[in-house]
Structure 1
Amino acid sequence: MELNTIKPAIGASKDRKRIGRGTGSGHGKTATKGHKGQKARSGGSIKFGFEGGQMPMHRRLPKRGFTPLTKKVYALVNLCQLEVFEAGSVVDAEALLKAGIVSDVCDGIKVLATGDVTRALTVKASKFSGAAREKITAAGGSIEEI
């Protein structure tokens, strides 16, 4: 067996359809394109989504974007910002608004672990990062999730 003598198995390959080569071929005259019309013409392809000049569906519908409708936006507070409060004080949304740390509560407050806390504080918030929990409790403070 030589490489130049290898052929595909019988029935494994087909001859290509030679269209427009006379009526005797079975694919002559209209060359398998039917009769007239845009699709029968040279270069006659219709773009995907084209609706014959009517305003297409993708332009009729409103834009929604990628923002999920159920997304919650939290006001972020770092631990270094909590140094303003005295030891033993309760830090909640009202206290943060009065201190000017947060301008708007949004859907809640999330405490992040940037910086250190040196005082024992009772922090009330919607969410805490794992490292923030550890730092607050290590300083002798307590956490309350609202």
Structure 2
Amino acid sequence: MYTFNHDIDQCFLDADGAYLDARGLQMFESFAQTYSQRLETYNALREQNASLVQGALKKMSQMYPGLMQRHGKRCQYDMSEVVRYMALAILRDDEVFFKEMMMSWLDTVLVAYKHHNHCATAYRLLQEMVDTQMPESRMVVRPYLDSVISILQSHA
């Protein structure tokens, strides 16, 4: 497990036996300066996880009622896990953590279900919910959801 995030861990490894260089110190400074925004986003995702996912799935049910009857509970679980890991990655300021801990699992699960187009739609709807319910955090969350949507579309 990483100490802070992937980039800072690499700085520690590169600086082993020496002082951090300007690049390493800049990473720490950036990490500290963005902490309050990342913490606010983490707390908002934690508190609103259920309403975000349920709102996206409600819209999805209107579009694909039969599909949601069959796979709705699993979809809700998967999306809730994605939001949880996304929140952790945002708090850590570590997209590598998110990709390693979540994306390979999600990709494997969804390859088995063969509903990539539908899942990409569900995550687009989730992004809409974030934009609506968490406008101050949408730009922090967007890169994570974009990566999920991108991997889902790559299989379509």
TM-score (norm 1): 0.25
Relative to its length, the structure with more helix (as a share) is 2
Which of 1 and 2 has higher RCO (CA within 8 Å, sep 6+)? 2
Structure label with greater radius of gyration: 1
TM-score (norm 2): 0.24
Relative to its length, the structure with more strand (as a share) is 1
